[in-house]
Chains A and B, each alone.
Chain A
Amino acid sequence: MEGETITVIGVGNEFRGDDAAGLLVVRQLKEKPLPGVKFLEQSGEATALMDAMDQTGPVILVDAVQSNAKAGTIHRYDASEQSMPAQFLRCSTHNFSVHDAIEMARALDKLPLRLMVFGVEGSQFEPGAEVSSPVQGAIVKAVRQINKELQTLTGESSDA
């Protein structure tokens, strides 16, 4: 029996500038498939996202963020350990945001045992906008960081 599958979820809207960050990170990660790792793309629709997160294995979620930090900053939260900051991950056009989906899953005891959230700080989210250059750089960095995380996790799960 192999170790638990690791799920990497990229969230975003590819037609709204930096909001595409999560999707682009996942697409780059997919280019080098790792055994025991699956990749999902999500729009941020909360119920679908809660379903996607409902996994027995670890989950890594990547999304664009607007938290007044410098564009291109990469935030990392261990959401299984701590609640997400209130204004984090609220740049979705949905009322019921990615933040709310995570906290709602926590309230309903549906959060995966390990949930790491990577937030890429964006600056332009207008419809039709390009991905900004700080975010393009951050995407490359985030791919590297998540790859490292995946290697650690796959190592851990194969040892288990």
Chain B
Amino acid sequence: MSLLAVHTLSKSFGGVQAVKDVSFELAAGEMLALIGPNGAGKTTCFNMLNGQLKADTGTVLFDGKELIGLNPRTIWRLGIGRTFQITATFASMTVRENVQMALLSHHRKVFSLWPRAADSFKEEADGLLDQVGMLHQADRACGILAYGDLKRLELSIALAHGPKLLLMDEPTAGMAPQERITLMELVSSIVKNTDISVLFTEHDMDVVFAHSDRLMVLNRGEIIAAGTADEIRNNDLVKEVYLGGGSTFDAGEKGAVHA
């Protein structure tokens, strides 16, 4: 049985159909990429999956449970983690404290008034940081980290409650080429080791083709193609609306001009 089953998901804003009849399934341990031009509805899809937006119609079954109508916090507790396009971390805390915060919430301790937060779940936090190679920076202030390190920190925060599914919104946006490869290799290895599933959006086609088991292409709110990297690469419709006629995706990922 698939971990995530999305069926005829739709959403419109003021008469504009942002997402139209989107259906797909995601198996445990699978990395699924969602690609398409800006404004195609990728972020809207994401926001419906994690409860920030309420879908107009459709169902989302996660591990057999309906997610539509649940708020983001409940969905998180069911085992779905999330990273953002622009990293969202706690700048005024140390790296370790960032992870401890997620652990404190997972263990429902955020209303505790007396014990020191910095002493709580320290080993667990260090283990998570080690997993993403950030342990040596555990005591540094998060506010002074390099962007690539912030991305890794965010990943370990998202993994803190042992999620079964990770939603990653443009995980490599704003990173240097080498950093992109390192980060996605890290994600791939975590997927292999833990059987976690990943659904991600991405603009960098090299990342997409190298690190996804399957791809879906969204255009004007609809899925116009789904399949393996090769199938998508050779799909005429996808070439026409997104990848372009030439071999533009080794240099850029946006629409191409037919020269």
A binds B: no
The residues of B with any CB-CB pair to A shorter than 8 Å are none
